[in-house]
């Protein structure tokens, strides 16, 4: 259960209700420390991909630990600044440019990372004649991707992210047209843990950097894999980083340019630092039919954790009896969510959200707590909130000293409908 004991799980569920996200400040800081220890040759900066878990308290913890911020929308930029993060510590890499781009980027010193030729053009026209904001970053699709599933692959010809590497000349022409200097280069291939793939992409990105003489920083993105269940592999940052470091050193020997390295993990920082507590509300069975199953129904689902329904993602599930109980029989069961949606299954087949799988658990009973592990990343921040009009779940932080703090209240129905105008 990561950082939880059964006693603490019961206490939190009783005091805050379920479903409830629980995060560990200690685990967040330890993961940030590992990122900041990433091997490098000529300087390093770690950014936190805030889309993984955007709660303001979490942003403050990670920023205080030394990480800067990777924002994926103008709204994320503003959210980070509301948490006290200075604009100069935020980089905006977005599929959609905010309407108020000039204020967010230029006036607040946010680093702009252009993700298409159109974005370079738009930015250039916006600041044409201005005396500031002339240095930009560009995101380039190097032609290769990686991921634990197709929808997590953000590189290669099947991805819309970034400027296609064969359009580099056009990007340079547009930058020159508006007097922009490309100082930073960004690539991101998706999620994976293979050091060989990272080195290959690093070399491809360095080859692109060689064609951009003013580039001083190369950001290789994030996507470092975290193993959530047995059989899944966690990226070794030291192994991966040392291989990339050598690539940067070879580049320096060849060109005389010592590039600074940046990475921007989200999952690696937040996944293990969060769990989701939920209560068993019902147990039904389609047995004794030969293909029958035992279904354990919870008071959570895709409204709090969409990854299983979206990717066939696997999360560890632990049964915490609501009261002290003798050992129970281990049974094969399906854990289903509370949404009126056939795909709201928390135990799909690995990588196959359309296929139901069973999980061996101590026979759950109504009132038991289920602890769903590794839900710190891409759960609260990527939920189908308010589907079936279920409210957003609260978030609780366990401080380093063991004290608990509510860092997001449970949403009320009044808050859910407050922007509806009626007839």
DSSP 281-344: EEEEE-TTSTT--EEEEES-STTT--HHHHH-----EEEE-SS------EEEEEEE-SSS-TT-
CA torsion angle 390 392 393 394 (round to 10): -150
pLDDT at 151 over 90: no
Mean pLDDT of 295-314: 97
Whether the pLDDT of residue 153 is over 50: the answer is: no
**pLDDT on residue 230:** 92
Residue 171 placed within a domain: yes
Handedness of CA 39, 42, 46, 47 (dihedral sign): negative
Q: How confident is the model at residue 335 (pLDDT cuts 50, 70, 90)?
A: very high
Residues 95 and 227 in one domain: yes
Per residue in 336-380, pLDDT (tens digit) is: 999 999 999 999 999 999 999 999 999 999 999 999 999 999 999
229 and 286 both lie in a single domain: no
* Residue-level pLDDT at 193: 62
Q: What is the pLDDT of residues 371-393, one digit of tens each?
A: 999 999 999 999 999 999 999 99
Closest CA to 293 of 368, 372, 361, 341: 361
Residues 380 and 357 in one domain: yes
pLDDT of residue 1: 85
Residue 85 has pLDDT above 90, yes or no: yes
Last residue of a domain, one of 270, 286, 318: 270
Identify the H or E element spanning 58: helix 56-64
Residues 224 and 142 in one domain: yes
Q: Report the alpha-carbon distance of residue 57 to residue 292 in Å, rounded.
A: 45
Q: Name the DSSP letter for residue 149.
A: S
249 in a structural domain = yes
Domain at 246, CATH number: 3.20.20.10
**How many domains is the chain partitioned into structurally?**
2
- Please check whether residues 247 and 299 belong to one and the same domain: no
Domain match, 247 and 314 both? no
Q: Are residues 291 and 342 in the same domain?
A: yes
Which two structure tokens, joined as six digits, stand for 23?
């995060």
- Indicate if the alpha-carbon torsion angle 363, 368, 373, 379 is positive or negative: positive
- Alpha-carbon distance of 153 to 142, in angstroms, equals 13
Higher pLDDT, 285 or 143: 285
Q: Does residue 132 sit within a domain?
A: yes
Whether residue 47 lies inside any domain: the answer is yes
Global confidence as pTM: 0.94
Q: CB–CB of 404/12 below 8 Å?
A: yes
> Helix H segments across 166-292?
168-177, 195-210, 237-255, 267-270
Asked whether residue 351 falls in the same domain as residue 373, the answer is yes
Residue 260 pLDDT exceeds 80: yes
Which of the four pLDDT bands, split at 50, 70 and 90, describes residue 197? confident
Look at residues 270, 296, 324 and tell me which one is the last residue of a structural domain: 270
| Same domain as 176, residue 67 | yes
The per-residue pLDDT for range 23-61, each reduced to its tens digit, is 999 999 999 999 999 999 999 999 999 999 999 999 999
User: Which distant-in-sequence residues (6+ apart) come within 8 Å of 200 by Cβ?
Assistant: 144
- Per-residue confidence at 12, pLDDT binned at 50, 70, 90? very high
Burial of 130 (0-12, 13-18, 19+ CB in 10 A): exposed
Is 76 inside a domain boundary? Answer: yes
* Residue 139 · residue 114 · CB < 8 Å: yes
Residue 221 — φ and ψ, nearest 5°? 75, -155
Structural domain includes residue 18? no
Q: Are residues 155 and 213 in the same domain?
A: yes
Q: What is the CATH number of the domain that holds 289?
A: 2.40.37.10
More confidently predicted of 322 and 218: 218
422 within domain boundaries = no
Structural Rg of the chain based on CA atoms: 23
On whether residue 1 sits in a domain, the answer given is no
Is residue 290 very low, low, confident or very high in pLDDT (cuts 50, 70, 90)?
Answer: confident
Q: Which domain holds residue 139?
A: 24-270
Regarding whether 242 and 116 lie in a shared domain, the answer is: yes
* Helix axes 56-64 and 25-36, enclosed angle (nearest 10): 40
**Higher pLDDT, residue 10 or 148:** 10
Domain boundary among 221, 253, 270: 270
Q: Are residues 217 and 341 in the same domain?
A: no
Listed ranges 183-197, 225-239, 299-313; the one with the highest mean pLDDT: 299-313
Structure tokens at 250: 């070879």
Please return the burial class of 318, using the count of CB atoms within 10 Å of its CB with bins 0-12, 13-18 and 19+.
Answer: middle
Structure tokens at 285: 């069975």
């Amino acid at each position: 259960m990561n950082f939880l004991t059964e006693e603490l799980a019961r206490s939190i569920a009783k005091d805050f209700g379920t479903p409830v996200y629980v995060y560990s400040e200690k685990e967040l800081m330890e993961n940030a420390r590992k990122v900041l220890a990433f091997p490098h040759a000529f300087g390093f900066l770690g950014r936190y991909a805030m889309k993984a878990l955007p709660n303001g308290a979490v942003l403050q913890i990670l920023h205080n630990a030394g990480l800067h911020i990777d924002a994926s929308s103008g709204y994320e930029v503003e959210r980070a600044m509301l948490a006290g993060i200075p604009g100069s510590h935020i980089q905006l890499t977005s599929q959609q440019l905010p309407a108020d781009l000039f204020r967010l980027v230029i006036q607040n010193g946010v680093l702009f990372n252009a993700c298409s030729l159109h974005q370079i053009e738009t930015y250039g026209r916006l600041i044409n004649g201005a005396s500031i904001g002339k240095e930009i970053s560009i995101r380039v699709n190097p032609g290769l991707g990686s991921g634990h599933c197709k929808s997590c692959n953000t590189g290669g010809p099947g991805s819309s992210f970034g400027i296609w590497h064969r359009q580099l000349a056009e990007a340079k022409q547009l930058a020159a047209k508006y007097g922009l200097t490309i100082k930073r280069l960004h690539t991101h291939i998706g999620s994976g843990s293979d050091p060989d793939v990272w080195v290959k992409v690093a070399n491809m990105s360095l080859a692109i950097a060689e064609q951009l003489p003013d580039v001083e920083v190369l950001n290789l993105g994030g996507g470092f894999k975290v193993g959530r269940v047995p059989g899944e592999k966690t990226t070794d940052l030291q192994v991966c980083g040392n291989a990339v470091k050598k690539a940067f050193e070879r580049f320096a020997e060849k060109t005389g340019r010592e590039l600074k390295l940046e990475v921007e993990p989200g999952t690696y920082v937040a996944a293990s630092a969060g769990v989701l507590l939920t209560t068993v509300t019902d147990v039904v069975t389609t047995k004794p039919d030969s293909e029958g199953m035992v279904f354990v129904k919870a008071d959570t689902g895709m409204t709090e954790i969409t990854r299983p329904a979206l990717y066939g993602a696997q999360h560890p599930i632990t049964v915490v009896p609501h009261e002290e109980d003798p050992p129970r029989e281990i049974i094969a069961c399906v854990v289903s969510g509370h949404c009126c949606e056939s795909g709201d299954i928390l135990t799909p087949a690995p990588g196959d959200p359309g296929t139901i799988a069973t999980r061996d658990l101590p026979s759950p009973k109504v009132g038991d707590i289920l602890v769903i592990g590794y839900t710190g990343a891409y759960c609260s921040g990527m939920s189908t909130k308010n589907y079936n009009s279920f409210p957003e779940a609260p978030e609780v932080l366990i401080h380093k000293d063991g004290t608990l703090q509510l860092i997001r209240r449970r949403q009320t129905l009044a808050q859910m409908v407050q922007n509806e105008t009626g007839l």
